[in-house]
Amino acid sequence: MGAYLSKQKFELIDNVIEILLENRKIAISLLCAGTIIGKLLTDRLANLPPGPLNLPYLNAGWRLFFYPRADVSLSSLNNEYKSDIVSCRFFSSPIIIVINSPRLIKELFKKNATTFSDRDSLKRMQGSLSGEEFSDVIFSLNYGDKFLQAKKFILRSFYQDNHDMLRHTLDFQCDQFIANVKKFDGSTLTNLKPMLSTSLARIICSFTISIDSSINDEDLNEFLRITNDFNNGFGTVGSFVPNPYPWLWRKIFYSSIDIKFRKCIREYRGFLRKFVNMYEKIDSDSRGTSLLAELLNNKTIDKGNELLDTLLMMTIDNPTSICEAFMWLFLYLASYQDVQEKARKLIAELTNNTRKITIEDRAKLPYFSALIYETFRCCNLQPFSPVHHVKEGLKFQGYNIPKGSIVLTNYTAMNKDPNVFPDPEKFNPERFLNEDGSFKPVDSLTPWGFGPRSCPGERLSKMELFLIVARVLQNFRLAFPDNYNPDLTPIFDSFCVPGPFPIRFIPITE
Binding residues: 455
Strand runs (DSSP E) across 106-230, as ranges?
188-189
Amino acid at 176: Q
Residues in the chain: 510
Within 10 angstroms of residue 115's Cβ, the number of other Cβ atoms is 21
Taking alpha carbons only, the member of 290, 275, 322, 272 closest to residue 460 is 322
Q: Which residues of 354-370 are buried (b: 16+ CB within 10 A; e: fewer)?
A: eebbebebbeebbbbbb
Amino acid identity, position 314 = M
Residue 365 vs residues 121, 174, 360: alpha-carbon distances, Å: 41, 18, 10
Q: What letter would DSSP give residue 507? A: E
Which distant-in-sequence residues (6+ apart) come within 8 Å of 493 by Cβ?
A: 232, 235
Q: Helix (H) and strand (E) counts for the chain?
A: 20, 11
Angle between helices 2-22 and 24-46 (to 10 degrees): 100
b/e per residue 213-237 (b: at least 16 CB within 10 A): bebeeebbebbbebbbbbbbbbbbb
- Number of Cβ within 10 Å of residue 25's Cβ equals 8
β-sheet bridge partners, residue 498: 490
Q: Which residues pair with 99 in a beta bridge?
A: 85, 409
Q: State how far the alpha carbon of 140 is from the alpha carbons of 157, 366, 453, in Å.
A: 19, 34, 10
CB-based contact 439:412 (threshold 8 Å): no
- Annotated binding-site residues for heme read 455
Q: What CA–CA distance (Å, rounded) separates 63 from 82?
A: 18
Helices of type H across 162-210: 163-182, 193-206
HSE-up (13 A, CA, CB side) for residue 33: 6
Q: Where are the beta strands (DSSP E) in 370-455?
A: 388-389, 394-396, 399-401, 406-409
